Amino acid sequence: MVSSIAEFVKQVRMEKMDVLEHTAQIFDEIESNSELNHFNVVAKEQAMQQANEIAAGIKIGRHEGKLLGVPISVKDCVCVKGMESRAGSKILSGYKPTFNATVIEKVLVEGAIIIGKTAQDEFGFGTFGTNANIGFEAPKNPLDQDRACGGSSAGSAGFTALTKFTHASIAQSTGGSIASPASFCGVAGFTPTYGLVSRYGLIDYGNSLDKIGTIGKTVEDASLLLGIISGHDPQDSTSLEERFEEKGEAKKIGIVKELFEKSDDKVSKECKKALGKLEAKGFELKEISLPLNSEYGIAAYYLISMTEASTNLARFCGMRYGLHKELEGHFDEYFSSVRSDGFGTEAKRRVLLGTFARMSGFRDAYYLRAMKTRTKLINEFKNAFKEVDVLAHPTMPVIAPKFSEIEKLTPMQNYAMDLCTVPANLAGLPHISVRAGEVNKMPVGLMLTAGHLRENILSSIALEVEGAQ
Amino acid sequence: MAKQAIDKKLLLGVAKNARLNLSEKEITEFLPQLSEILESFGKLDELDVSKEKPSFQPIATKNVFREDKVEKCLSQKDALSNTKHKKDGYFLGPKVV
Amino acid sequence: MSEENKGPGKTIIGLECHVQLDTKSKLFCGCPTTAEEPNSACCEICLGFPGSKPVLNRKALDYALRVALALNCEINREFFFSRKTYFYPDMSKNFQITQYEIPVGKGGHIILSSGKKIRIDRVHIEEDPAALVHSEGLDASRYTKVDYNRSGIPLIEVVTAPDLSSPQEARDFLDQLTTVLHYLGVFDLQNGTLKVDSNLSIEGNERAEVKNITGKRSVEKALAYEEVRQKGLVKKGVHMKRETRAFNEQTSTTRSMRSKESEADYGYIFDPDLPTFELSDSHLEEIRGNLPELHGIKAERFMKQYAIDEYTAQVLSANPVLGDLFEDVSKKVDARFAAKFLSRELLAIINYNNLSLATAGLDPAEISALLEMLLKGEVSERNAKQALIKYALEKIPPAKYIEEQGLKKDLDTDQIEDAVDVVLKEQEKAVADFKAGGQKALNFLVGQVMRKTKGKVEAREIQSILEKKLGA
Ligand SMILES: [Mg+2]
Ligand SMILES: [Zn+2]
C-alpha cells in the first residue's frame, strides 16, 4: 500500500522514510518500465542531487515543506528551468527554458523532487496520448499495454497508475487532457477553475482554455498538490485574485442526461452505480439537461482551441530555440521547412484548421461564431448550477481503447470522444475525474463538475465516490 | 455561416499562410479529413448567436497591469543559450531580401 | 478638354505613424528600453520563449491615453489587445500584440500650421518588433542579424484620414505630431524613433503604400518621389495598381516590393493571454487633468500676453522647455527682448551644437542675469553670446564667465577713443584703402578695435567713432 503524500511527508519528517532510497527506487521503477513511454525526460541526476540536499537538510532539522521529498513528475509542456521541455514536439528539441514555471517554483519551495517530464500528445493535441511526434512513442496503459493511457496528459496518468511509490503529477488540460487519462488509468485527475493556477511557464495550446492541474493516485493527493500550486500570480494576466472557497456544502448532484445517453452503456451503468451509492449517503440526485453543451461543445471547443493554437505555434520557426536547420533560403522558405519537419501530423492539421478559421473572410463565420456560441454554453451551465451544486457524468464515453481501435478513427471521430470533457473546459469550470468502477477490468471514471472556485466541494464528493469503491 | 468546401487551392493557400509545406501525400490525406471536420463545425450555424457577445475567456479578468519598473532581464548569454544560430551577440535569422 | 490635356488629379496622402513611447520598461515585460549590447535587454517574454506571458505596462497605457486625448480623440472606454499573426525574423512570436477592433482612441484631429484640419482615424497601442541588422559582405547574403532589445518597446500608432495633399503637408503634420508628443512627455525627441507607413495616390487612381520609413525628412522625400512618379505614370495613362513599396534612404527613391513581402492575411484574434480593459471616469479625468497646455494654445497666449509676433511665439512654444524658459526669464527681463534673444541666439546655439533643451539644464535665473547685463549695456552682444555658448556647453554660469574673463564693459568713451586712435596709427594701409572707397577696410578696422577692447564694445559704437574720425 502506497502511503499518501501527507503520510509520506510525516514519515520523512520523523526520519522513518529515507528520501534518498525512495527517490532511487522510483527511478529504478521508471527505468524498468521504460517501454511504457511515460517519460520524455527522466531527470535522475538532478533529482538525486535534490534528494541528497533534502536528506542532508532533514538531518539538521529542516522539516518544512508540504511536499518534503515527494517525487513529482511534470507534464512536458510545463517549463522547468534547464530541463528539456518540448511539450511532446520535435520542433522544441533541445529547448531548455531559462526560467521555471510558477507552479514549479511553488512545488520546489515545498520540498518536492522533480523526477522528469511526462509524455503527452504533441502540444496537448490528442485524446489518447497517441499523437506523439517523431522521436516519441505513444505511452501505454499500465493496466493493459495494448490500450492507450488517454491524453493528452498521458504519461502523468500512466505513471501515477503504475508507480508503487508516493508520487503525484503536474498535468495540464485544455479540453479534458487531465480527466481523460485519469479516467482511462483509474487515478484522480483534478482540473481547476480557469485562472486558479498560474499558467506562467506553460507552453500554450489554447490560452483561453489551458489550465494546469494535478493527477494523483487518490483524490487526497491530487487535491493536496492542487492546493499547493494554486494562487494568484502577477506574471499571468489571467490569474485570478481569489482562492477557491474554503468551505462549501454540496447536497444536490445533477445527472447530465445527454452525456449518459451518449456514453457506452456499460460505462454509464458503472457511473450510475457509483452515484447510487452517493444517494444512499444522503445526496440528492437530479436529472439535468445540457442540450447545447452536448450538441455544440465539440465544435465550439475545437474551433477556439485550434484558432488560438495556430497563433501560439507561429513562434516555432527554428530561430531562437528548438529544432534548427542550416540557415538557408529566404525566411519564408526556411520557416516553412523547419515547421514542416518539426510538427507532427495532428499539429499540422490543427494549425491548418486554426489558421483557416481566423483568416479574413472566414473569421466571423468560424472563430467569432465559436466565441459567441461559448457564451451560450457558459450560460447553460450557469442555469444548471441554479438547480444543483455539482454535475456528474462519465468522464469518457468509453473505457481506454486499444491502439488498434484508435487507428481506425478519423480525426473527427477522434475529436468526438471529447464530448463529455469539453463543456466544463470551455466554461473554465473546475472538475475532477475519480475512479467509479470498471468494465472489462478497465477503470471507469466519473466526472464531477462544480461552479467556479468550488474546488472544495468536488474534493469532498470525489472522496465519497473513491471511498465507496 | 457560408459553408466552406475546402479544395486543394484553398488548402494550399492556408498552408502557405501557416508556413507549412504539404507533401502530396499530406494533401491527399488532409483534404477529406478537413472537409469532414469543417462540415461538422458547420453545426454551429444551427444556433442563433446574433445577440451574443463573444466569450474570449471563460472568466474575464480586467485591468491587470505591471508598473513601469525595470526588472532583471536575461544575460546575453542566456538569451542566446537555446539557439545555435548566433554571432557577435546577435541571433541569426534567415535572410529577408 | 481632351483626356490627354487634363493634368493628373490631386495628391492624396494618408499616414500611419508608429511612435516609440518613452517608458522605462517595455510594453509587456520589465526589460529596459535602452541597452548597450545586442540582446542584453531581453527576457523570456520579449524573446517570445514558450511559456512566457505578457502583462501590460500601466504607464504605456496612460501615455497612449494622453496622446489620444491631446489629439482630440474619442476614448474607447472598453478595449482589448489582438494578435496580428505574420512571419518575419524580427517577430519574436510571429505575432504582434496590437489593437485591432477597438483602439484606445478614434476620431481625432491635428491642425496644421496653415490652419488646415487633418482627421485622425485612430490611435492604438502595439509592441515594437526587434531590430534587423544587415551586415555587409559575403555573409549578408546568407542571414540576418537580429537584436531583440527593441522587441516589445511600446509604440503608439497614429493613423490619419487621407486628408493630406502634399509631401510638405505631410511633413508639417509630422512636425505638429512630434511637438505634441514631446509636450506630453511621452516621446524622446533625441532617441525615440518615428516610423511611418505612407499611402499616396493621385485622385481617381489606386494608391501605393510606402512601408517603414524612418524619420520625418525621409517621409517627405519618399512622398515627393512618389508624387512625381505617380503623376508621371498617370499622365502617360498608365493604369495604377495598388501596391506596397519600400523606400531607399541612399537614393531617396522607392521600389516595388515582391508580392510575397506585402501579401498577408493577419488572421487577427483576441489575445487570450491578456485581460480586457475598462477605463473608469476617474482614471480618464486624472489623465485629462494632467494634460499640459499644448503648443498651439500656448503660442496664441504668448502673442497676447507678451505682445510678441506670431512667428516668434510659435518658435518659443514649439518646445515646452523653451516656452517655460521664456516665461521664467520674462518675469525679470523685458519679454519682447527675451523672446527675441531666446528664439534666435539660444536656439541657434542649441541647434548648431546638437544639444537638447530638455537635457541642457539651463537655469532661467542665469539667463535672466545675462540678459539684464545686456540690457543695461554692461556687456556687449558678442560677449553675451560667447558667455551663453560656454553656459550651454560647459555649464559655466554666464555672469561668472564674464567676470572671470574680464568681459564686462568697463571702458569709458576716452578709453575707446584711445583704442581707435592706436588702431588708426597702426593700420595706415587700411585707412588709405578706406579713404579710396573700400568699405571692407572699415569692417577690418572695426574688428581691430574690437580686438583691442576684448569685444567689450558693440561694433556699431566703434564704427560710428571710426566714421567720425575718418570724416566719412
Ligand atoms: Mg502597426
Ligand atoms: Zn523582456
- Please tell me the predicted confidence (pLDDT) of residue C136: 61
Contact criterion met (CB < 8 Å) for A359 and C48: no
Nearest to C341 by CA among C352, C354, C356, C330: C330
The answer to whether residue A347 is domain-embedded is no
Mean pLDDT across chain A, nearest whole number? 97
Residues in Cβ contact with A248 at an 8 Å cutoff, skipping those fewer than 6 apart: A389, A454, A456, A457
The answer to whether residue A322 is domain-embedded is no
- Please tell me the predicted confidence (pLDDT) of residue A464: 96
Q: From CA A444, how far away is CA A434, in angstroms rounded? A: 8
H-helix or E-strand spanning residue A59: helix A44-59
Partner residue opposite C39 with nearest CB, options B62, B71, B80? B80
Residue with cell 581691430: C448
Burial A125-152 (b: 16+ CB within 10 A, else e): bbbbbbbbbeebebbbbbbeeebbbbbb
- Please tell me the predicted confidence (pLDDT) of residue C6: 55
Contact criterion met (CB < 8 Å) for A372 and B49: yes
Q: From CA A170, how far away is CA A125, in angstroms rounded? A: 18
C-alpha cell at C372: 539684464
Ligand 1 centroid to C15 CA: how many Å?
11
| Closest residue in chain B to residue A328, using alpha carbons only | B94
- Please tell me the predicted confidence (pLDDT) of residue A268: 98
Partner residue opposite B79 with nearest CB, options C29, C47, C60? C47
Contact criterion met (CB < 8 Å) for C278 and B66: no
Strand order in the sheet with A442-450: A39-42, A113-118, A71-75, A168-173, A211-216, A188-191, A431-439, A442-450, A390-394, A252-256, A284-288
Interface list for A 195-224 with C (CB within 8 A): 199-204, 206-208
Report helix angle A291-312 to A345-358, nearest 10: 100
- Please tell me the predicted confidence (pLDDT) of residue C214: 94
Chain C residues inside the 8 Å CB shell of B76: 37-40
- Please tell me the predicted confidence (pLDDT) of residue B1: 46
Domain of A173, in residue numbers? 1-290+393-469
Phi–psi pair at A436, nearest 5 degrees:
-125, 0
Positions of A marked catalytic: 75, 152, 177
Q: Residue C240: helix, strand or coil by DSSP?
A: coil
The answer to whether residue A446 is domain-embedded is yes
C-alpha cell at A320: 531562437
Which domains, from first to last, does chain C contain?
A: 3-286 (no CATH), 295-404 (no CATH), 413-469 (1.10.10.410)
Instruction: Give me the mean pLDDT over the A300-328 stretch.
Output: 97
- Please tell me the predicted confidence (pLDDT) of residue A60: 93
Evaluate whether C169 touches C13 at the Cβ level (below 8 Å). Answer: yes
Contact criterion met (CB < 8 Å) for B64 and C55: yes
User: To the nearest whole angstrom, how far is the Cα of A434 from the nearest Cα of chain B?
Assistant: 24
Residue with cell 477553475: A193
Taking the alpha carbons of A321, A324, A326, A329 in that order, is the dihedral positive or negative?
negative
Contact criterion met (CB < 8 Å) for B94 and A333: yes
- Please tell me the predicted confidence (pLDDT) of residue A75: 98
The answer to whether residue A463 is domain-embedded is yes
pLDDT means per 10 residues in chain C (472 residues)? 59 97 98 96 98 98 97 96 97 97 95 90 98 70 91 98 97 94 90 94 94 95 97 92 90 80 80 97 94 88 94 89 94 94 92 84 94 90 91 93 87 85 87 82 88 84 86 70
Contact criterion met (CB < 8 Å) for B95 and A356: no
Taking the alpha carbons of C96, C102, C107, C109 in that order, is the dihedral positive or negative?
negative
Q: Reply yes or no on whether the pLDDT at B2 is more than 90.
A: no
Interface of C with A (CB under 8 A): 44, 47-56, 83, 85, 87-89, 92-95, 142-144, 146, 260, 265-270, 272-275
Q: From CA A86, how far away is CA A151, in angstroms rounded? A: 16
Looking at A310-314, A377-381, C180-184, which range is the least confident one? C180-184
Evaluate whether A160 touches A176 at the Cβ level (below 8 Å). Answer: no
DSSP label at A4? P
Considering only CA atoms, give the Rg of chain B: 23
Note the pTM of the prediction, 2 decimals.
Answer: 0.89
Instruction: Give me the mean pLDDT over the A243-249 stretch.
Output: 79
The answer to whether residue A353 is domain-embedded is no
pLDDT grade for A406, boundaries at 50, 70 and 90? very high
Percent of chain A past pLDDT 90, that is, above it, reads 95
pLDDT grade for A322, boundaries at 50, 70 and 90? very high
Taking the alpha carbons of C150, C152, C153, C157 in that order, is the dihedral positive or negative?
positive
Partner residue opposite A207 with nearest CB, options C47, C55, C273? C273
Ligand nearest to the CA of C29: 2
Query: Given CB atoms, is A295 within the 8 Å cutoff of chain B?
Result: yes
- Please tell me the predicted confidence (pLDDT) of residue B3: 56
Ligand 1 centroid to A417 CA: how many Å?
42
Query: Given CB atoms, is A310 within the 8 Å cutoff of chain B?
Result: yes
Query: Given CB atoms, is C246 within the 8 Å cutoff of chain B?
Result: no
Residue with cell 571710426: C466
- Please tell me the predicted confidence (pLDDT) of residue C2: 43
Contact criterion met (CB < 8 Å) for A203 and C92: no
Q: Ligand 1 (ion): which residues have CB within 5 A? A: C 157
Q: What is the CATH number of the domain that holds A427?
A: 3.90.1300.10
Chain C residues inside the 8 Å CB shell of A340: none
